[in-house]
Amino acid sequence: MDSVTQFVLGAAVSAVFLGPKIGPRKAVILGGLLGTVPDLDTFLPATDPVEAFVSHRGATHSLLMQVIVTPLFAEPLVRLFSALRDPRIKTYLAVYLIFATHALVDAMTVYGTQLLWPFGVEPVGVGSIFIIDPIYTLPLLALTVWALFKGQWTPRFGTWLRRALVVSSAYMLMTIPVQQIMKDRGAKIFADRGIMPERILAIPTPFNIAYWKVLAIDGGRYITLYLPVFGNDEETTAYVYSRRMDLIGCLADDLVYQKLAAFSDGFYTLSEADGRVVMSDLRMGLTPSYVFRFEIADVTSDGAKPLTLSVRLPTIRGLVGDLEWLQAGLLQSPTTRPAEAAAQIALGDLRPSETRLASASCTVG
């Protein structure tokens, strides 16, 4: 989740456990700062951009490692605040839960989190909530701001704090069944047209859970459906793209390609741009403005040649018409997304792919 969300979540957890002892203001400041600690791994050196990408949310987000480091942060608090000396165990628990809730809500996003590192390095990524979701964050933000103006704990504040945590947590959990419903709807749309995708994923469009993107990997192409929660098939828009799998024969043995393919769980596409092969993670961002795009090879007369050092490309932001398109989707009246208009296809014209996978030979074009 975004930094603001992690700050106010840590602040709220801290306020519940420590607020009655040291006051709401001090509790939310300490909790907010601790809530950002796991993301310090973004400052750790990496050998290349792809390594930085796949290694984020590793050790610092591990529920196991957080047990080990909790005393390093909790004991100084006990020594600094005399009011925390008697409830030492409660202080330790508060610090651990601040770290653990950070990791757990991160795992709800599609990026994934290595919750059991080093024993399990496979990222857990539910993908049922966008990285920024105001409905989840605003109740916690409101209580955090309130706490900053309160020096003393009151039962009334405690009641509203618990309510805010319950509302936000319930909303977060609700995203899971909604995601499954949207995935099932997308799968039915494909099945009704004889399409059996290798992989299918439902993820929310930015800032909400009312308008969803269903992504399907179908051989050498990928299909994107945009579905409103309260809509039907007639209100679904579809877009079809080539994944340029003709390039894979040149890159199948390349370590960078393998890392990205594995991390994206197969939801990736290849493209050409300025003489380079670009590999994009389809799960994060909207076509063509993916958050994570990497140049991984040069296009030559002999095919695609892997680069010695990959290059992360900047995210394309502010595409014309996206705000209006998103608003229409939120109002359950989807329209064509201008940035994808060229790839749009009527649902009635959606047919099974004639080929499953391109030849593994090293060719370009």
Let me know whether 163 and 123 are in one domain.
Answer: yes
Instruction: Please indicate, yes or no, whether residues 233 and 159 belong to a single structural domain of this protein.
Output: no
Residue 73 lies in a domain: yes
Q: Read off φ and ψ for residue 354, nearest 5 degrees.
A: -75, -30
Query: CA-based angle 156:27:99, to the nearest 5?
Result: 115
* Average of per-residue pLDDT values in the chain: 92
Q: Are strands 289-290 and 285-286 parallel, antiparallel or unpaired?
A: antiparallel
Confidence of residue 364 (pLDDT cuts 50, 70, 90): low
CB neighbour burial string for 167-193, b if at least 16 within 10 angstroms, e if fewer: ebbebbeebeebbeebbebbbebbeee
Average pLDDT over residues 340-357: 85
3-state DSSP assignment of residue 356: coil
- Are 247 and 277 in contact by the 8 Å Cβ rule? The answer is yes
Per-residue pLDDT tens over the stretch 106-153: 999 999 899 999 887 788 999 999 999 999 999 999 999 999 999 899
Write down the pLDDT at residue 46: 76
pLDDT of residue 357: 53
**pLDDT for the residue numbered 344:** 96
Residue 362 maps to a domain: no
Question: Does the structure show a pLDDT above 90 at 300?
Answer: no
Mean pLDDT calculated for residue range 310-321: 87
**How confident is the model over 236-285, as pLDDT tens digits?**
999 999 988 888 877 888 999 999 999 999 999 999 988 999 999 999 99
The whole model's pTM is what? 0.91
- 24 in a structural domain: yes
Domain-located, residue 180: no
Task: Give tens-digit pLDDT for 218-227.
Answer: 988 999 999 9
130 and 217 share one domain: no
Whether the predicted pLDDT of 88 surpasses 80: yes
Are 152 and 277 contained in the same domain? no
Q: End of a domain among 173, 208, 233?
A: 173
What pLDDT is recorded for position 56? 81
pLDDT of residue 199: 95
Band (pLDDT 50/70/90 cuts) for residue 365 is: low
| Residue 135, both tokens | 């409905």
111 assigned to some structural domain: yes
- Distances from the Cα of 160 to the Cαs of 2, 107, 143, 157, 300, in angstroms? 23, 26, 8, 5, 63
Q: Do residues 199 and 163 both lie within one domain?
A: no
Q: What CA–CA distance (Å, rounded) separates 159 from 341?
A: 50
The candidate with the shortest Cα–Cα distance to 243, out of 274, 204, 272, 263, is: 272
- Quick one: pLDDT band at residue 85, thresholds 50, 70, 90? confident
By residue range, what is the domain housing residue 142?
Answer: 3-173
Same domain, yes or no, for 57 and 107?
Answer: yes
Question: Do residues 155 and 209 both lie within one domain?
Answer: no
Q: Number of folded domains in the chain?
A: 2
Q: Measured at the alpha carbon of residue 233, what is the angle toward residues 228 and 235, in degrees to the nearest 5?
A: 50
pLDDT-derived band at 355, boundaries 50, 70, 90: low
CA atoms within 13 A on the CB side of 141: 12
Any domain includes 179: no
User: Does 188 reside within a domain?
Assistant: no
Looking at 140, 173, 206, the residue that finishes a domain is 173
* 84 and 198 co-located in one domain: no
**Cβ proximity of 238 and 345 under 8 Å:** yes
Last residue of a domain, one of 108, 140, 173: 173
Mark whether 88 and 197 lie in a shared domain: no
**pLDDT tens digits for range 29-78:** 999 999 999 998 888 777 788 888 888 888 999 999 999 999 999 999 99
Based on the fold, state whether residues 143 and 200 are members of the same structural domain: no
Q: pLDDT digits over 182-191, tens only?
A: 999 999 999 9
Whether 167 and 202 map to the same domain: the answer is no
Question: Residue 301's pLDDT band (boundaries 50, 70, 90)?
Answer: confident
Report the C-alpha gap between 174 and 24 in whole angstroms. Answer: 29
Give the torsion sign (CA, 276, 254, 220, 344): negative
Whether residue 251 is contained in a domain is answered as: yes
Same domain, 65 and 117: yes
